[in-house]
Every structure is written in structure tokens, then in C-alpha cells.
Amino acid sequence: MKHFDVYRIISVSLRTGVILSMVSIISGIVIIMVNGGADGYTLAQIASYSKSQTLYSSLIPLNNLFTGMYQLDGAFYVAFGLWVLIFTPITVVVIALISFIETRNKLYIALSSCVLFVLFFAMLVVPHFLS
Amino acid sequence: MYELLAIILKFISIVFGGILAGFIGSLTGLGGGTVLVPLLSIFYGVPIVFATGASLISTIATSAGSASAYTKEKIANIKIGVGLEVATTIGAVVGSLLTVYLDHHALTWLIYVIFGIVLLGSLVPAVKRGQSELPPHTRPDWTTRIFELSGKYHDARLKKDVDYNGIRWWLGEIIMFFAGTVSGLLGIGSGALKVLGMDWAMNLPMKVTTTTSNFMIGITAATGSSIYWYSGYIQIFIAAATAIGVVIGAYFGAKALVKITNKDIRWIFLAILSFLGVEMIIRGFVTDKIFFMVPLIQFSISIVIAVVFIAVLYLHNLRRLRSVEAL
């Protein structure tokens, strides 16, 4: 059985996640500046701190994430970058789970599955109660 | 054209705030969010929920950034981290739902006040940090065996391999639940509470505690972030700027931490943090018009209380160091 270095894989995936997300966020902001707005909002609105005017997370339709990116809409690039960032630590748990499966450590397979369950509960179930 | 320039400057100014927060956060070991939330809400006039949202996102960025460096040294204990994450993620769900509740019921002033109290409270362990590197030797208990809490790492400064046994896993879990709740409620990593859980409750060495906590902070923050996202607390312009800034700041903070030989410099930053803590408490009451105060008086009161607070901590620390030397 091929042994794999969990620490190294975790380190590399964390770094890749941060870099990918930073690149996406920065390009999104540049596109927003160049286009003078995004997702139907003007530049002034996007930069505003007022909750009644500005563009905040729940207003961005995630279903259109890739269409938005294809249409070179900056807001979707920022949103993509932020979601890559949110998913980055989750990959760590997945990698840990794989390593526990490899060593057949039942207790830790259960514990890491538990963590993943709570994570996806927060992402998929809780939002339904919020809206 | 003029408007574009103004907005670019606004963006850069938030990035700069993020750099400052990341720098102080990593130098004091409290994390970027602890500085970022007060900075944004007091000095930039950002509504508290947008400040906590931006901060939580930035917390993931710094945690992932520094954890990628730490895990290479193989000090962080993945088993302990994942095991305790069960409690922090559940806590993060509870905490972020609590924020949604407070926001919907016009109780956001409570977030300011709790933030201030947590900030001041986390300064106490931050002061003690780095003094005792290794925990007192204790016998492994039943959780050590079942949850495999033993480990070994090479300490470069002590120039030896350190063996350790974690104990009281259940107590660690209980504290981690609160750490997760605070993280979700306030949009910070709550590293101070995580360190308390592993250092005090589980009797782990400081190096293992800090690196494992750093690795856990990202997972906790990711849980809260998704709930924040759907509640609309992440304002993309602010979150983008702070995420970039905090990453840069934390990078330089970590570099500076190695170079700074005079540990007293930390006191200046701890003083700034205690000022922000007091200011947050006062701001909470003023924002919701529970009482009125002119900003100048507000700042003066905050400075006075902060100076007294930090002086007490400093003297207390000095006395303890003396008594350690006397032994």
C-alpha cells in the first residue's frame, strides 16, 4: 500500500486554495473597477457601507456563478474567490478522513465524518431556515 | 473618473486596515479578526455585521495561510484537531445563528459589548503566553488511550524531541464548543479560547496547542461563513479588501515575530487591543442610544480604562516573573 504524507498534502492544498482565492478576488475587484459596477449595481453602491444600498452576499445568485464569471461580471469572481476560501479548510477535513480510511481508524473516520456532516448541515440545511 | 479614484482609495484604505489588523493579530497571537472587527466598526463606520462577516472570511485566509507553513513542520496534531472540530463546528453553527437572531431583533449592540468583553478577556492569557513552553508531566488518562492523544514532535529551540500525552478530551470538547460559539457570534478565530482548551484542559505543549488551534480556526470559520453568507453579512467590497490585507499583514507579522527580541514591544500592541476592547463596549451602548456620549469623551474614557487595565496586567506579570526567578 502506497503511503502518503498527510501533512504535505494538507500544506499544499491549503496554499493552493489561498492563492486561487486571492487571484480570483483581486481579478474580481479589478473587473468591477474597470466595468464601473457589477451584477446591476453601480460602483458607488458596491463601495457603500449602507445595507439598504450595497451589494452583499445573499443578493448574489450563486446559481448563476459560472454564467456570471463567463460574462466577466466582477462580483461573481469575488464570490467565487470567497467560496474557494470557505471550501479550503474543508478539503483538509476530507484529506484527514481519507488518511483515517487508509489506516482503518474507525473512531477517527466517525469523528471526521461528523465534522463534515456539521459543515454541510451549515451550508445546505441551515440556509433554508434563514430565508 | 474622480469617483473611480475615490473608490480605489477607499478600497486601498480598507486593505491597509486589514494589513494592520493582520500584523497586530499575528504578533500578539490573537488573530486578525480580533483587531479587524473593532477597526472596521469604530474607525471605518462599517455596520457591525459587515465587520464580523469580513473578519470571518479573513480569518479563514490567515489560518489557511499560516497553517500551510506550520503543517510542514508536522507539529500540529491532526487527530486532536479533527476530534475537537466536532465541538467547534457545532458551536460555530449556534454562534452564527445567534448573530442572525440578534441582528433580526435589533440587538446588535450586544455583539459590540460581548466582543469588547471577549477581547479584554483574551488579553489575560495572551500576556502569559510563551512563558512555559512545556506542560507539567501528568499521567495519561482513559481518553489518552481511546482518542490516541499521544504524540511527539521535534522542538527546534529546545533541540530535543518532545513526547506528550493529551488528557481530559471531554473537557477540551466542552471548551471548544464555546470557542466555536464565540467564533460564529463575533466573526473571529477565538484562538485564545482554543488555546485555553488544549493548553489548560488537555495539558498539551504550547507549540502543539498553537499550531493545532491555527489549523482548526479555518474549519470553524468556514462553518460560520456559510451561514453568514446566506444571511447577507458578507459585503463583497469590504470582505475582498480585508481578506487581501489581513493575509499580507499576517505574513509580515509572522516574520517580525521571529525577529523581535525585545518582548516588551508586545505590550504596546496589547495596550492598543485593550483600548479597542473598552471602546467596543462603550460603542455598543452609544450606537443603540442607551446613553449618549461625544466621541472625544468616549475615546478619552476608553484610553484611561485601557491604560489602567494594561498597567494592572503588566504589574501582575512582573510580580509573577519575579516570584518565578526567586524560586
ipTM at complex level: 0.90
The string over B191-230, giving b where at least 16 C-beta atoms fall within 10 Å of a residue's C-beta and e elsewhere, is bbbbbbbbbbbbbbbbbbbbbbbbbbbbbbbbbbbbbbbb
Confidence at residue B130, expressed as pLDDT on a 0 to 100 scale: 54
**Are B243 and A114 a contacting pair at CB < 8 A?**
no
How many whole angstroms separate alpha carbon A122 and alpha carbon A125?
Answer: 6
Confidence at residue A1, expressed as pLDDT on a 0 to 100 scale: 40
Confidence at residue B260, expressed as pLDDT on a 0 to 100 scale: 66
**Residues of B in Cβ contact (< 8 Å) with A121:** 93
Contacts of A61 (CB under 8 A, 6+ apart): A68
Question: Is A126 an interface residue toward B (CB < 8 Å)?
Answer: yes
Model confidence at B117, pLDDT cuts 50, 70, 90, reads very high
Shortest CA gap A83–chain B (Å):
9
Mutate which of B5, B213, B234, B237 to test chain A, going by most A C-beta atoms within 10 A?
B237
Shortest CA gap A125–chain B (Å):
10
**Residues of B in Cβ contact (< 8 Å) with A29:** 11, 237, 240-241
Q: Where exactly are the structural domains of chain A?
A: 6-130
**Are B223 and A18 a contacting pair at CB < 8 A?**
no
Model confidence at B258, pLDDT cuts 50, 70, 90, reads low
Residue B14, pLDDT above cutoff 90: yes
Residue B155, pLDDT above cutoff 90: no
Shortest CA gap B175–chain A (Å):
17
Question: Where do we find the cell 487595565?
Answer: B309
Question: Is A101 an interface residue toward B (CB < 8 Å)?
Answer: no
**Are B4 and A36 a contacting pair at CB < 8 A?**
yes
Shortest CA gap B211–chain A (Å):
12
The string over B267-280, giving b where at least 16 C-beta atoms fall within 10 Å of a residue's C-beta and e elsewhere, is bebbbbbbbbbbbb
C-alpha dihedral (B317, B318, B320, B322), degrees to nearest 10:
160
Q: Which residue type is seen at B322? A: R
